[in-house]
Amino acid sequence: MEDLLSRTRLQEILSRSSDRKIGVIGDLALDAYWYADMTRSFLSRETPRFPRPIVREVFSPGAGANVAHNLAALGVGQVVVFSVVGEDWRRDILTDVLTSLGIEAGHLIASSQRSTVTYVKPILQGYDSWQEDSRLDFESDQPLAPALEDALIDMIRQRLPELDALLIADQLEINGIITDRVRGALNDLAAHYADRWFVVDSRQRIGLFRNMILKPNWREALRAVYPDRSDRALPHDELARIGQTLADRAGRPVFVTLSEEGLMICAEGTHRHLPAAPVQPPLDPVGAGDAFAAALAVSLTAGATPWEAGTVANLAAAVVVEKLNQTGTASPDEILTRYDLARQERQHHA
pLDDT tens sequence across 272-301: 999 998 888 888 878 899 999 999 999 999
Give me the architecture of the 7-30+62-119+139-349 domain, per CATH.
3-Layer(aba) Sandwich (3.40)
The pLDDT assigned to 39 comes to 95
Asked if 212 and 181 touch (Cβ cutoff 8 Å), the reply is no
How far apart are the C-alpha atoms of 132 and 122, rounded to whole Å? 6
How far apart are the C-alpha atoms of 329 and 347, rounded to whole Å? 27
Going by C-beta distance under 8 Å and a sequence separation of 6 or more, which residues neighbour residue 278? Answer: 318, 341, 342, 345
How far apart are the C-alpha atoms of 106 and 159, rounded to whole Å? 12
Rounded to an integer, the average pLDDT of 101-114 is 97
The pLDDT assigned to 238 comes to 94
How far apart are the C-alpha atoms of 263 and 272, rounded to whole Å? 8
How far apart are the C-alpha atoms of 22 and 160, rounded to whole Å? 9
Write out 171-229 in H/E/C secondary structure. CCCCCCCCCHHHHHHHHHHHHHCCCCEEEEEECCCHHHCCCCEECCEHHHHHHHHCCCC
Residue 123 confidence (pLDDT) above 70: yes
How far apart are the C-alpha atoms of 279 and 317, rounded to whole Å? 10
Residue 126 confidence (pLDDT) above 90: yes
Going by C-beta distance under 8 Å and a sequence separation of 6 or more, which residues neighbour residue 56? Answer: 34, 35
pLDDT band per the 50, 70, 90 thresholds, residue 96: very high
Question: In terms of C-beta density within 10 A (0-12 exposed, 13-18 middle, 19 or more buried), how is residue 12 classed?
Answer: middle
How far apart are the C-alpha atoms of 285 and 271, rounded to whole Å? 25
Rounded to an integer, the average pLDDT of 237-242 is 95
The pLDDT assigned to 325 comes to 67
For the chain, the domains span 7-30+62-119+139-349
Task: Find the length of the chain.
Answer: 350
Residue 88 confidence (pLDDT) above 80: yes
Residue 158 confidence (pLDDT) above 70: yes
Rounded to an integer, the average pLDDT of 113-142 is 95
pLDDT tens sequence across 176-213: 999 999 999 999 999 999 999 999 999 999 999 999 99
pLDDT band per the 50, 70, 90 thresholds, residue 347: confident
Rounded to 5°, the CA angle 180-67-287 comes to 110
Neighbours of 344 (CB within 10 A): 11
The pLDDT assigned to 230 comes to 80
Residue 324 confidence (pLDDT) above 80: no
Average pLDDT over the chain reads: 94
pLDDT band per the 50, 70, 90 thresholds, residue 156: very high
Instruction: Record the pTM.
Output: 0.94
How far apart are the C-alpha atoms of 190 and 178, rounded to whole Å? 15
- Name the nearest CA neighbour of 243 among 316, 235, 276: 235
pLDDT tens sequence across 9-64: 999 999 999 999 999 999 999 999 999 999 999 999 999 999 999 999 999 999 99
Whole-angstrom CA distances from 328 to 12, 35, 186, 290, 331 are 24, 18, 28, 9, 10
How far apart are the C-alpha atoms of 144 and 146, rounded to whole Å? 7
The pLDDT assigned to 1 comes to 67
